[in-house]
Amino acid sequence: MTADLHRQRLLNFLDVYYAGDIEGALARCTDDVEFVANAPVDLLPHMGHRRGTEAMREMWTTVHARYSEMRCEVPILVAEGDRVAANIRVFFRKRSNQRMVQFDIAAFYTFRDGRIAQIREIIDTFDMVEQVLERDVSAILRNDKPE
């Protein structure tokens, strides 16, 4: 029963977040919400580890500023107790050149008192970096091996 409630809470959170309502998304998180995403933070400095409302607001504002359109699909959702895992397919349109970026995220949420207290994400980062930076990293590796 609790799992079903959290499943719906997560879907509501994603609706609000991808509609661009950052304050609405923050209202669905605890004040000490923790976010951890595996990502090369030297390339994507807004990602990595964040804790607390202000840090999340800063990160999400950075992300929303880069994309004119954001939407997602959730093909798989697994809920147990106060935790929900979602396979999220995201579609972002870049403001800079209108190109679409699409990749999948494995996002694991923990709820406390009906709000999201922890978000942990695993992303196919190689694909994400190639799309976000618009670089063929495989080609760079073929041509740029160190001595």
Contact (Cβ atoms closer than 8 angstroms) between residue 73 and residue 104 = no
How many Å apart are CA 85 and CA 70, to the nearest integer? 20
Contact (Cβ atoms closer than 8 angstroms) between residue 124 and residue 103 = yes
18 CB contacts (<8 Å, ≥6 apart)?
A: 70, 71, 72, 90
Q: Is 80 in the site for another protein (CB under 8 A)?
A: yes
Applying CB under 8 A, the span of 11-19, 25-33, 49-57, 80-88 interacting with another protein comes to 80-88
Least separation in angstroms between residue 32's CB and another protein is 19
How many Å apart are CA 99 and CA 82, to the nearest integer? 37
Q: Is 27 in the site for another protein (CB under 8 A)?
A: no
Q: Is 54 in the site for another protein (CB under 8 A)?
A: no
Which is nearer to another protein, 68 or 138 (by Cβ)? 138
Which is nearer to another protein, 8 or 38 (by Cβ)? 38
How many Å apart are CA 34 and CA 117, to the nearest integer? 6
> Would you tell me which residues interact with another protein (CB under 8 A)?
38-40, 42-46, 62, 75-76, 78-80, 83-85, 87, 104-106, 108, 120, 122-129, 132-133, 135, 137-138, 140-141, 145-146
